[in-house]
Amino acid sequence: MSSVSSHDGSEKEGFYHHRSVPDGLPQRYAAMRKTDLLDTLDAVRHRDTDAWSVAATIDDQESVVSGPGGTASQISSSHAASLRLETLRDLTANGDNASSITTEDDKRSRSNAAEFGDDGARSAAGDFENSDSSDGEETHVHNVVNDAISAPPQPQPSFASVTKSYAELLEENEMMQNQIRSLHNAQKHQAEMISNLRSLTGCDEEMYGRALHLSQQLARLAELVTRFVQESTPLPDKRITLEQSLFSAITELYFYSLPFGTENQQLLNLAYADQIRRFQSTLGTNFAKWYRRQTVQSLSLNPATKEYLEQTRSQMTGRLTDMLAQILESNGVINHREQWDEILDLCTVLSLELHGGDADVMVQPIAPGSKYDEDVMAVMGDLPDKDRIVKTMVSPLFVDEEEGVLLPARVLLE
């Protein structure tokens, strides 16, 4: 037992003499007490609180050292000192209570110093004030409020020179009023036509929508033709004649027959009409409608039909040139070419769509001397009167097979 004790004692002495004395300490510190040794180590250790911080809580098994900076030699020396302190604490765990209390107090003091730093003058409020002041200066430089008040721009009056006489202005005003009345009457008839279409027997939503679409397209065509004529000539009498001639040529070339696109155009249309009548009398109306839809759909995909419509376009333009030369006594030049092209595009579309629905659309002229009928006629340039008769038809009446009015005829009364 004595040999073991002496051996243990020799190990402890060797530990105190060889491991507990740090490098660079004088030899007189070798026989000091544990608390004196800890105080000495704490005084000798280089501590920079701006670069290092020791964990505030030191566990029984380990001491955590962390820091944002520092050299490699400082890190290694601090780690070695921490290991030696930990080993010394384990060896003297059964020591007296006074030394233990002193050690814990010393740890707490060193932890508090490491946590809060040696420089007590520094504070977070001071750092915040410095950073805030610097940021405020930069912000003040860039965010400059412009409080200048300027008045909004005032509209400048325009002085247009009037070259027309008072009589001419009155005449134009009267013409515009007549046009407004005509448009109002056309809208009234269109609204009545829509209500009539809704009240038709067996008219479902799909059929009603298609009929309304055709009615709007026909009304658009009439509006385009009227505007083109008004911009082509300023004379009211010549306007009526030119508009009447244009509608007559359009219905003849585009709406009376289907564009089969062959040399036997008229014969094919006669055979087609005869076939429709035969289907209606033998197989029924529904089969006749199906045959008509299939025929129109095949024509829309036929290259010969497209070629025929191009030829019809050129033919219609030639007729317009002749009309301008005869009616207006001009050189026949079309001044408003874009509007004329828009009219021809709409006529090309309607040449197939008018005959591709469930109910075929027919064009009916109004003979001069007919009694005025407000259900199928719209008066131009005058007030409607049931006791008066038709003097001239400007545009024809468009109706379907079920007597639904798509576009009323535009007429002049006696």
| pLDDT for 111 beyond 60 | no
Burial class for 320, CB neighbours closer than 10 Å (0-12, 13-18, 19+): buried
Give the residue among 235, 292, 336 at the shortest CA–CA distance from 344: 336
At 17 the pLDDT is 46
- The mean-pLDDT minimum among 38-47, 53-62, 394-403, 404-413 falls in 53-62
Q: pTM value?
A: 0.49
Handedness of CA 379, 382, 385, 390 (dihedral sign): negative
Give 26-35 pLDDT, tens digit per residue: 555 455 555 6
Q: Break the chain into its structural domains and give their ranges.
A: 205-358, 361-413
220-256 pLDDT, tens digit each: 888 898 888 888 877 878 888 888 889 889 988 888 8
In the chain, the percentage of residues whose pLDDT exceeds 70 is 53
